Amino acid sequence: MGFIKSAVILTLSFSYGIFTVVLYACISIKNGTYFTRRTEKETLELQIARDRLWDLSKDFAGLSHHIITLASGFKFHFVSNEAPGSPAALKSDKPLVVFVHGFPDSWAVWRHIVSSSSLQDAACLVAIDLPGYGGSEGLEKYSATGVLEKMTELIITLRTQYGVDDGFETRKKKTIIVGHDWGCIISMRLAAEAPSLADRFILSNGPLPDLVKSNLMRTIDSARKMHKDAQNAPRSSRPPLLQAIRTLKPLFRQLTLSGYIFAMQLPVPLVEYLLIGGNQSLMRAVHRGAHGKAEFNPRDAAESMASSMGPSLAESKTQTSNGETYPSTIKYSREFANVMNMAGYYRDGASTRIWQKSLETIAGLHGLAGGNDLRRTSSGAGLFDEGAPGVLKTSSTVFWGEKDIALDPTICLDGMADYLVGGSQVVLLPRSGHFTPVEVESRAALEAAVQWAVQGEKEDVGVAVQRTYKGAKVIVRR
Ligand SMILES: *[C@@H]1O[C@H](CO)[C@@H](O)[C@H](O)[C@H]1NC(C)=O
């Protein structure tokens, strides 16, 4: 019975995945992007953008490139306004802000926000490439353990290199983690399972896996109950059945929006075809959509694509000022050699599987938690008190672009308050879509929130954000 059930589910998921691949191809054929090759001018723009974003020897708007090799030997690429480990960074009393991008991006999705000179004056900004993206090394498997172990080691290392912790004292200054999309999911897992890594999380348009699961279950349960009531009731009172179907609407909506997640589980050639087939029409559509209603000029198009692609062969030969180079494991000669890494996050269970912490990780996190314990007592969560699964144990500010076409707000936000501790908020951005770090209005709102956190959270975050984004609504305050 169990075998038949799982065979049915597998067949349905597979069919839905195939359907999505075909659907996306049809849409781009209809839009005319499927059969349009990049023009010579676009190719030139793209190479210029890749040079601007990825040449290790060149600064980008006050930020320099760095390659950090962790104790485990793993290499991360990031940009920062201060050199890690430099006397200035070690002595600086400016808070550390780490930016974590999502799919299908890289550090460069933050390029507008981290270029801000007022933010650069106020904080040490670090915009990283996730494992397998941009200029960071790839992983064998993008499992929760694979990704979260590397992220934890990176953040502990950055904290030391930017003067947050030293051998004598921890939390000498504030650490803030900012995440979007997959970067949001990963940061939420860190806030839930490694809360001592930061003092504040700022999170945008990514689902909280445990909350989504519980909302889906609740929706199915209540629909089932209504269906049962309808069966028990006399024929005359059939409306409850309709109501049951109506209850399932958010679930169906999310399922429709999530077709690509099913497609990501297909065999490798089909996934590559989905993501970059038909002259990269899906990538182009995603980048166009990311800019909302605003103008999308050739430079935006080229920079977005360069952000997704990472360094080309030309940039792979460049060096940082202290002679560091990109990992030798990346295949720079092939455009989009990284697509299966991007897909790996969906395929290998990075969001939902168990994170098996290594002894090094447990010891590292314990070391941070052993410092100033003020926050822990205020949130009521002790080191061994795990609480409900998925609860974000560090104060978090969740931003939500309401026009997100990938994520249903009923499924992703209902009940969020139960997953937040003291000092947390949920802020709705009514005119923005999924790509809050890219859209002009929402990126100003995010920048205002980072500035608010960096300056010591002296006022209400709603007030701080509404100054740049009229109509932003704080719907949850803890
Ligand atoms: C890309 O566009 C060209 C030019 O129209 C077309 O011939 C080619 O088949 C397209 N490539 C793919 C993979 O569909």
Q: What is the pLDDT of residues 237-287, one digit of tens each?
A: 666 677 778 888 888 888 888 999 999 999 999 999 999 999 999 999 999
Residue 99 pairs in a beta bridge with: 127, 178
Q: Is the CB of 278 under 6 A from ligand 1?
A: yes
pLDDT at position 234 is 72
Map residue 131 onto helix, strand or coil: coil
Q: Is the CB of 277 under 6 A from ligand 1?
A: yes
Q: Is the CB of 35 under 6 A from ligand 1?
A: yes
In angstroms and rounded to an integer, the radius of gyration of the C-alpha atoms of the chain is 23
Ligand 1 center to 31 CA (angstroms): 14
Map residue 70 onto helix, strand or coil: coil
For residue 277, give the ligand 1 atom closest to its CA.
13
For atom 8 of ligand 1, the residue with the nearest CA is: 35
Q: Is the CB of 91 under 6 A from ligand 1?
A: no
User: In angstroms, how far is CA 37 from the centroid of its own chain?
Assistant: 30
Q: What is the dihedral of CA 460, 462, 466, 468, to 10 degrees?
A: 80
Burial of 253 (0-12, 13-18, 19+ CB in 10 A): middle
What distance, in Å, lies between the first and last C-alpha atoms of the chain? Answer: 46
pLDDT at position 237 is 62
- The model's pTM is 0.94
Ligand 1 center to 280 CA (angstroms): 10
Ligand 1 center to 38 CA (angstroms): 10
For atom 2 of ligand 1, the residue with the nearest CA is: 35
Report, as ranges of residue numbers, the positions in the chain whose pLDDT lies below 50. Answer: 371-385
For atom 3 of ligand 1, the residue with the nearest CA is: 35
For atom 10 of ligand 1, the residue with the nearest CA is: 35
Residue 60 pairs in a beta bridge with: 63
Ligand 1 center to 35 CA (angstroms): 4
- DSSP string of 201-242? EEEES---HHHHHHHHHHHHHHHHHHHHHHHHS-TT--HHHH
Residue 39 corresponds to which tokens in the numbers above? Answer: 């023009």
